[in-house]
Chains A and B, each alone.
Chain A
């Protein structure tokens, strides 16, 4: 079962990377990075069950990683929305 979730995690990572390499729009790029992140977190959670007991260290790492991912995403969204406001302005009413 661990292997199954490991493969799903790896698959999500590759999927996100693939969509990022297509040079998408900013919003899609931010979402692609979040999907890559979910893939990594999935690998972490899957690896936590590699032995007979659950490894609490990896769970702690996932929580830390989630906090970072949320704040980084918020920052990226703020920058992207600032960019959007700026590109809209010169066009005026158009």
Chain B
């Protein structure tokens, strides 16, 4: 637990230090996220050896206590957060096009890292409200780094995020008024399927779905993610939307009585299939490269929703694994895609998708990174995306009654193949390639390729990964 706390406190201390000293140096942030990554790896090792751990903040006892819980999933997410923050920080410092050198990006990204780490560790409804608000405010502030042109999407993002938090808070308050506790484990013992619990869960789910940009509440996401600087888009798509998803998962799999889950499951799963279809369709038609990648986030979240919904409906533990594999694979692939897209649009001089004509010739490494990450989104073996899809599909294929759901996954796969190949085909059109405005930045392109290679490497450690995630399933 100490190591997990170090992983949380290092970025927090760094953010405060940068704010107080008015320094905006990226090297310090890279150092702190490296320390955080090492501590998180240690915490993961510890939790696999000894099982889940609890910590009582301030030494209070239940029911007044605010507790942190370290379980395998949260340890894995700590590692994932620190790793992605480190990768994106290197890009933000080293790339010529990052627009983030010497800006407020550095304290803000550290604060984002800290609030996410606190979210993964919390086990208390009100603590989650605080971390959600922190996450939302920091994310909006990061969108505004790209200047006044991002104010409209940023303000819309902020207002929606505030409304979502209020929905969540109202649900929390109703539950507290009914049961008199805020701790998730205590609530899970007490919860019954009565009207108050139903109403509270509905309000909280609505708020969290709005925050996680689940279809049909996703409309704020593409403009906000696409108008942010590249490094910020990568962090937002890979990490921020996963926070509310984590809370939603714990709410439904631990707190909600099983019969409520069985009722709500199909609704969430159907919304997931629709997210795959409509998100994919919008990505196919998106005029701008970053908008395409942002819509693909909306679509890919559909898989996570499907896994969550079917998990609740059938109560099958292997779907927990599918859900978190999707989150990890999507996060890595999306970092790669956003970094590659940002490099290409900055070097080739336009934001539109058409500018990628002949990109395999002019910017081969960035385009390769985009295609490799796209391969994982489609689910080509042996990538992380394939792994997740395979775990999701196995229970669907076993019984003929479940085949319609498998068809949903298939349509989603076709859609993702569609928007990835739309870009790839264009980049092989080498007859009249778009000339780069200046010499492409090789280091930044290799950096974009790294997470894509990591996501393909996930297949190599699939056995321990699945084992850890199974250990984390409540």
Interface string of A1-33 (1 = CB under 8 A from B): 000000000000100010010000010011001
Do the beta carbons of B151 and A75 come within 8 Å of each other? Answer: no
Nearest-neighbour CB distance to chain A for B267, whole angstroms, equals 21
- Residues on A with C-beta less than 8 A from B359 are none
A37–B159 alpha-carbon span in the complex (Å): 12
Nearest-neighbour CB distance to chain B for A14, whole angstroms, equals 11
B window 157-183: CB within 8 A of A: 158-159, 162-163, 166, 169-170, 173-174, 176-177, 182
The majority secondary structure among interface residues of chain A is helix
A83 at the interface (CB under 8 A from B): yes
Chain A interface extent, by class: 20 to 34
- Residues on A with C-beta less than 8 A from B170 are 13, 40, 43
Do the beta carbons of B176 and A47 come within 8 Å of each other? Answer: yes
Known: A47-B177, A64-B130, A86-B151. A79 touches B158 (CB 8 A): yes
Pick the contact of A30 from B159, B166, B176 — CB < 8 Å?
B159
B window 91-144: CB within 8 A of A: 126, 130, 133, 137, 140-141, 144
Do the beta carbons of A33 and B151 come within 8 Å of each other? Answer: no
Given contacts A13-B170, A40-B173, A72-B133, 15 further A-B contacts (CB under 8 A): A13-B166, A17-B163, A33-B159, A40-B169, A40-B170, A43-B170, A43-B177, A57-B182, A64-B126, A65-B169, A68-B133, A79-B140, A79-B158, A80-B155, A86-B151
20 A–B contacts from the bound complex (CB under 8 Å): A17-B163, A20-B163, A26-B155, A29-B159, A33-B163, A37-B162, A40-B173, A43-B174, A47-B176, A47-B177, A50-B177, A58-B176, A64-B130, A68-B133, A71-B137, A72-B137, A75-B158, A79-B151, A79-B158, A82-B148
Binding site for B on A (CB under 8 A): 13, 17, 20, 26, 29-30, 33, 36-37, 40, 43-44, 47, 50, 57-58, 61, 64-65, 68, 71-72, 75-76, 79-80, 82-83, 86
Binding site for A on B (CB under 8 A): 64, 126, 130, 133, 137, 140-141, 144, 148, 151-152, 154-155, 158-159, 162-163, 166, 169-170, 173-174, 176-177, 182
